Amino acid sequence: MTSPSRNVDVLTAPESCPAVPRTSRVLIANPRQATRLSKLDAKLTGGSPDDARRGAARLRQLARQELFTQPPDGALIVYRLAADGHEQTGVLADVGIEDYRAGRVRRHEATQPERVRRLEELLATTRCELVPIMLTHQPRPQLGALVASITQRTPDVELLGDDVAQSVWIEPPGALADDIRTEISDIDTLYIADGHHRMAAAERHATRHPESCDTVLGALFPADQLRLLGYHRGLPRPGGVSTSDLVDVLASQPATESIEECASGAAEPGSVAVWLDGRWYRLRLRAARSADPCASLDVSVLEDGVLGPLIEATGTRVLPLPGTRDADAVARWSAEHDAVGFMLHPPGVADVMAVADAGAVMPPKSTWFDPKARAGPFLRDLG
């Protein structure tokens, strides 16, 4: 493995060390401007290529109007996400694309080639980044204590959205910023929490345009601060099948140990809460006997041993349901769509790391980290 200082360059790297990527040209938006950026991001990602080009030009025009703060050389950026009483605090960093290629930045989910292609085209068109990729690492108590000393003061930027609050602190050059940078440089492995497709798109872009930036903007959070929700499933109900027959079909699947009616949709490890015709059922899974850390996950057992055979037999398609939906929301959605709802207990962050360390990938839509990084506070110009 290369020197740890090459693994993550925390805004900024000393120019006297050419092996370390140069400082990210990240700009910090003021609170009013941050709100405009979050709205503009939706237009960039949802519009046509021409819309994206116009949006990128508008971004750079706003930057020229000095509505952003350029952190001084040697400054360090602390970033916090908060939602529903939960908060996680990390450090903004430039993460090397070569480290992703070499496996020092590890993934746990497969990516869809078409989505990667579209995101790479967007990156090539706009030449800017608004949302950092969310990464995690093993907890480091000393790093946590240093970061906490910065967040005792009022944030330099605070953006209160409908569901997520974002806070930013700019720590000026000095001993504290240097100490945090030293702690970060000792992290030898990072794990992608959210942003697998954007990371793959950045790598694709760097391959197609070797002269372009060789880093991607990341936000590094300790693993013990992340909140992981279950990523649920909806299965369109096969036509002409009664409730009792469908329960029997679920009971007969290879990975089903038992299924019985229960009082609520609370998901538990090793079982799945199933909503069907106004009732909740507890479907207990037959534990997979495998050393593969991915095969033993509830989501893998459900996909391979319960839903897989059903899909093959009926030709239906499983629909992922966001982890932010509670049991009542899953029941309502299932009723509205004439579907069977499956509520999963989330894997642990340690499970996710084990899958990534093994070089394996989970089934698509397996993890829902919440809250996720949003557009608003940052503008990184790659042009």
Instruction: Write the DSSP string, 199-242.
Output: HHHHHHHHHH-TTS-SEEEEEEEEGGG--EEE-EEEEEPPTT--
Q: Find where tokens 């971004």 sit.
A: 59
Based on the domain organization, do 75 and 207 belong to the same domain? Answer: yes
Based on the domain organization, do 163 and 92 belong to the same domain? Answer: yes
Distance of CA 14 to the CA centre of its chain: 29
Q: Say if residue 371 is preceded by a cis peptide, omega within 30 of 0.
A: yes
Domain boundaries, position 265: 232-345
Which residue in 382, 316, 336 sits closest to 26, CA to CA?
Answer: 382
Based on the domain organization, do 211 and 273 belong to the same domain? Answer: no
pLDDT for residue 382 is more than 70: yes
CA distance 42 to 215: 23
Kindly indicate the confidence band of residue 65, based on its pLDDT and cuts at 50, 70 and 90: low
Q: So what's the pLDDT on residue 43?
A: 67
Mean pLDDT rounded to a whole number for the chain = 86
User: Residues 147-173: pLDDT tens digits?
Assistant: 999 999 999 999 887 789 999 999 999
Based on the domain organization, do 193 and 111 belong to the same domain? Answer: yes
Angle at 201 between CA 196 and CA 204, to 5 degrees: 130
Q: So what's the pLDDT on residue 73?
A: 86
Structure tokens at 43: 């237009």
For range 339-353, the mean pLDDT: 94
Tally of domains within the chain: 2
For range 18-45, the mean pLDDT: 63
Q: Which residue has the higher pLDDT, 190 or 121?
A: 190
Contacts of 367 (CB under 8 A, 6+ apart): 108, 109, 193, 228, 231, 346, 347, 352
Strands 157-160 and 68-69: unpaired
Based on the domain organization, do 63 and 158 belong to the same domain? Answer: yes
Per the domain annotation, does 285 fall within a domain?
Answer: yes
Per the domain annotation, does 77 fall within a domain?
Answer: yes
User: Residues 118-137: pLDDT tens digits?
Assistant: 899 888 888 888 899 999 99
Q: DSSP for 132-189?
A: PEEEEE---HHHHHHHHHHTTSPPSEEEE-SS-EEEEEEEPSSHHHHHHHHHHHT---
Based on the domain organization, do 168 and 271 belong to the same domain? Answer: no
Per the domain annotation, does 266 fall within a domain?
Answer: yes
| Helix pair 141-150, 175-185: axis angle to 10 deg | 150
Kindly indicate the confidence band of residue 14, based on its pLDDT and cuts at 50, 70 and 90: very low
Q: So what's the pLDDT on residue 30?
A: 79
* pTM of the predicted protein model: 0.87
Angle at 168 between CA 118 and CA 95, to 5 degrees: 45
φ/ψ of 183, rounded to 5, equals: -60, -45
Kindly indicate the confidence band of residue 8, based on its pLDDT and cuts at 50, 70 and 90: very low
